[in-house]
Amino acid sequence: MTPGKLVQLVAINLRRDKKGALFSAFGVAAGIGALVFFIALGGAVRSLVRERIFPVDSRAVEVIPPALSLGSILGGGALDEATVGRLAALEGVERVYRKMELRVPAMGGPTDGLVQSFRIPRNIWLAIIAVGVEADFVGDDLAKDLEFVDPADGKPIPALAARRLLELYNRSFAKSQGLTPIGERLLLTAAGVELISVRLGRSMKGNTGLLEKRVGLSFAGLSDRAPLHGVLIPLETARRINREYGMDAERYSALTLVAKSPDHVPALVQKVRQMGFAIDDSEKKLSESVGAAVAVTTGAMALLSVLICLLAAVNIAHALSSSIRTRSREIGVLRAVGATRLDISGLVLGEALVIGLIGGAAGTFGAGLLASGLDAIARTRVPDFPFKPESFFHFSPGLLAGAVALGVVASLLGALVPALSASRTDPARVLAG
């Protein structure tokens, strides 16, 4: 039997039993649609957690001093230049970045420019937590044409804030206080301009006994590497201010190791701990915990969807078996006029293939349609909240193609037994009645 004749026979048989074919395709569509829907939802949520809520560099290892240090007796101790050299020499380390906290208490409030341009209340004063870092650490996040260096006296200190902080401000604080949201592009127009006035030597409790000194902070960009509770400033600035106030200006508060690849990270973590230092992986653990919860939920829903696909395969097997029994005489005639067992198997599998394609495509399309509807409802009826995504679903080409392919596979699996049974039909016995 030629391929063309086989296709014609498949089309004739499906048209003759439209109700059964559509019912079988609907079962496949239900399973595939649910599978695509939940995987797309889980993928979008995981991306939101890893890229926006807890953006973690998979190659980074944050080294901090141990909670209890016995100095050089057990190999731990201070994070100084000697430690930087030791860590840089570890196998798998590409770069070591130094970090030094501003160890001087400081309070900051908005300048006149910030009050006028962004309608920030003038009476807001907050504790300033700043971490000095090297320019290369934030090189890609700096606003255009800005230098991340210790400024000359009288000039504002360049500072980078967390991109997440802007999100929280716009969708939570600004909205609740009736303030104007600040867009990232608008904020970039203020790059290099002094926005925060800082009083060094003053804390939330008032006078600290330290000489108060006023400095300014200018906006230098937004960075996912900036802490949510503070800002990043040039390392030399933090070192200079700490030295001026008699604070420790030699030891670092943390060192960020960048591994050559994520595969080197577990071994580096083990070596760092063996050297007596601690690892700050709190955000990474939060990201992994939330991601794991999403993965488990998505996996459970996906498993349920696969079970629906298996039920659809069983239904296809039952429908095709019934169809073969009613067409046994027809199959006997085909065998009598020269159709081979392979031809008969191909006829049954061809019907299942079409059912699987229709069901898989319909289920995938239905999942996309439902997702689009829910996204539209979320955009118009769900209030803004921090990190609200443009879409709660992520449909990758691989997911769509794989879903249709799974629908076809489920249908073919259901048709295997009926196809084998049909191919074994004895034409002489069937035609003899």
Q: Summarize pLDDT for 239-249 with one digit per residue, the tens.
A: 999 999 999 99
Please give the pLDDT value at position 174.
73
Same domain, residue pair 137 and 9: no
Same domain, residue pair 248 and 324: no
Last residue of a domain, one of 280, 296, 329: 280
Same domain, residue pair 120 and 83: yes
10 has which bridge partners?
Answer: none
The overall average pLDDT reported for the chain is 85
Same domain, residue pair 234 and 297: no
Mean pLDDT to the nearest integer, 195-204: 88
**Angle between helical axes of 282-326 and 341-381 (0-180°, round to 10):** 140
Of 383 and 254, more confident: 254
Question: Does 401 have pLDDT greater than 90?
Answer: yes
Q: Which of 49-63, 127-141, 360-374 has the lowest mean pLDDT?
A: 49-63
Same domain, residue pair 87 and 130: yes
Question: Does 5 have pLDDT greater than 80?
Answer: no
pLDDT-based confidence at 76, cuts 50/70/90?
Answer: low
Under 8 Å between Cβ of 178 and 206: no
Same domain, residue pair 253 and 331: no
Last residue of a domain, one of 280, 300, 332: 280
Same domain, residue pair 195 and 182: yes
Last residue of a domain, one of 280, 315, 334: 280
Same domain, residue pair 258 and 138: yes
How many domains would you assign to the chain? 2
Tell me the pLDDT tens digit for each residue of 252-304: 999 999 999 989 999 999 999 999 899 988 777 776 677 778 888 888 888 88
The torsion angles phi and psi of 92, rounded to 5 degrees, stand at 100, -5
Of 106 and 11, more confident: 106
Please give the pLDDT value at position 130.
95
Same domain, residue pair 102 and 202: yes
Same domain, residue pair 89 and 171: yes
pLDDT-based confidence at 73, cuts 50/70/90?
Answer: very low
Which residue range(s) make up the domain with 395?
3-55+287-432
Please give the pLDDT value at position 70.
52
Same domain, residue pair 267 and 340: no
Same domain, residue pair 255 and 129: yes
